[in-house]
Amino acid sequence: MTYIPISPKERDAMLATIGVKTLDDLFKDVPAKHRFPKLDMPPALTEMEAAMELEDIAASNENVRGDLISFLGAGAYNHYIPSVVDHILRRGEFYTAYTPYQPEISQGTLQGIFEYQSLMAALTGMEVSNASHYDGATAAAEAVNMAYAQFRGKRKKVVISPTVHPQYRAVIRTYTQGMELELAGDDGNADLDSSPQELKSLIDENTMLVIVQYPDFFGRVYDYTKLIEAAHSQGALVCIVANPIALALFKTPGAMGADICVGDGQPLGIPMWYGGPSLGFFTTKKSYVHKMAGRLVGETVDSRGQRAYVLTLTAREQHIKRERATSNICSNESLLALAAAVYLSVVGKTGLRQVAELCYHKAHYAAEQLSKIKGMGLCFTEPFFHEFALCVNQPAEEVNAHLLEHGILGGYALGQDYPALKNHLLIAVTEMNTKEEIDTLVDILSEVNHD
């Protein structure tokens, strides 16, 4: 079926108004030999048939709300999404609107984004937030672009901690391949035990940006204040890639002096959705706002003296500045920024802290129990949030295969990015994991080790 509401009679009347006989007559500019190709595709389904087909496809997956118990994180997390969030998101007024270029009739989207910006600033301790990027990885890559622009291309080096998410580092490599930059520190063979302070030795007067993750890829929480001071003493900027749930508990990137804080907003009320779409948040200091990519909503008044909101500083963006724009980004993740805003509003100060503490306590309980298993142990001793690297003393993939037989989605096998950690799993625990699930994991891993 289609959604075309025009009857054959109306069609003919319209063709007559245009002055042509048939629909085909409208396409004479198209090269004749290529006109009207026959597409080799299955015939159309009705809504009922399509609904059933999609239900079958979805059901053939094993999901983490019923089919599998999950301890997999590594950048996407199984959190509870309050019912309210999707009820708001399913309002056609929000999801079937375009970018709010006509502010008189888009105040819902505009005020929603303004509140999102405010909430993200509160969470990160930064001064300003833009209206979103595609995901955490592309937001980190845009931080590189911003730093490059800030130094007008005169500084060419980016220092990246090897404990930044491997896929984020990969995206930064892809994004910057035309820029002739030096990416230092981006090495899975680096010494992962060393303190982040060690990055200092890589920072010099040619360094535009230092990127670290918080908690880092292995879940470790460091206070980066001293590293940031060292970077600033060389004139470099610092970007912290942060987990937004962790920020409910831990010192903010703003308080540590970071210049930019980015991250993935998926934990804030957005389903994992097999990896997307999620949301990249991007926050910075007000003094850098003109170099920041992406849309930005500001407060103003309308002609009737009412408080209202508009897209502002738009001359930075591609539709006006074209090749000199701060970035090419146009579509962003607006609806999911709204999801994050609704989530943060409805869980609020109390609920978000509860979620973060639940993650922390459950992860620590799991870590404690797992490290009691003979031959297993935690890889690192630093404080961690809701993920930790567990040494399983045998190839991590084999352990995961065994866990899967018992309906458990094991941790991320770290050896694929860090060759020294081929016997290590990155275990993630959220508020969704019960004590019973954790105990089951411990039981099965105990068996594994006895096999």
Exposed, middle or buried, 318 (CB in 10 Å: 0-12/13-18/19+)? middle
What residues between 180 and 209 interact with other proteins by CB under 8 A?
Answer: none
By C-beta, is 283 or 423 nearer to other proteins?
283
H or E element in which residue 445 lies? helix 435-450
For other proteins, which residue of 218, 281, 360, 418 counts as binding (CB under 8 A)? 360
Exposure letters 226-247 (e unless 16+ CB within 10 A, then b): ebbebbeebebbbbbbbbbbbb
For other proteins, which residue of 104, 191, 193, 447 counts as binding (CB under 8 A)? 104
What residues between 51 and 70 interact with other proteins by CB under 8 A?
Answer: 51, 53-68, 70
Q: Does 409 bind other proteins (CB under 8 A)?
A: yes
Q: Does 14 bind other proteins (CB under 8 A)?
A: yes
Query: In the complex, what is the shortest distance from the CB of residue 211 to other proteins, in angstroms, rounded to a whole number?
Result: 15
For other proteins, which residue of 69, 123, 258, 408 counts as binding (CB under 8 A)? 123
Peptide bond into 215 cis (omega under 30): yes
Q: Does 303 bind other proteins (CB under 8 A)?
A: yes
Between CA 285 and CA 300 the distance in angstroms is 21
By C-beta, is 78 or 201 nearer to other proteins?
78
Task: Give the binding range for other proteins (CB under 8 A) out of 21-29, 181-189, 198-206, 236-244.
Answer: 21-29
What residues between 260 and 299 interact with other proteins by CB under 8 A?
Answer: 264, 271-277, 286, 289-290, 295-299
What residues between 313 and 342 interact with other proteins by CB under 8 A?
Answer: 313-325, 327-336, 338, 341-342
Q: Does 21 bind other proteins (CB under 8 A)?
A: no
Between CA 309 and CA 111 the distance in angstroms is 6
For other proteins, which residue of 152, 189, 205, 451 counts as binding (CB under 8 A)? 152
Between CA 13 and CA 19 the distance in angstroms is 10
Task: Give the binding range for other proteins (CB under 8 A) out of 25-33, 181-189, 199-207, 230-238.
Answer: 25-33
Closest C-alpha among 443, 388, 410 to residue 70 = 410
Exposure letters 275-304 (e unless 16+ CB within 10 A, then b): eeebbbbbbbbeebbebbbbbbbeeeeeee
Q: Does 40 bind other proteins (CB under 8 A)?
A: yes
Q: Which residues pair with 261 in a beta bridge?
A: 240, 283
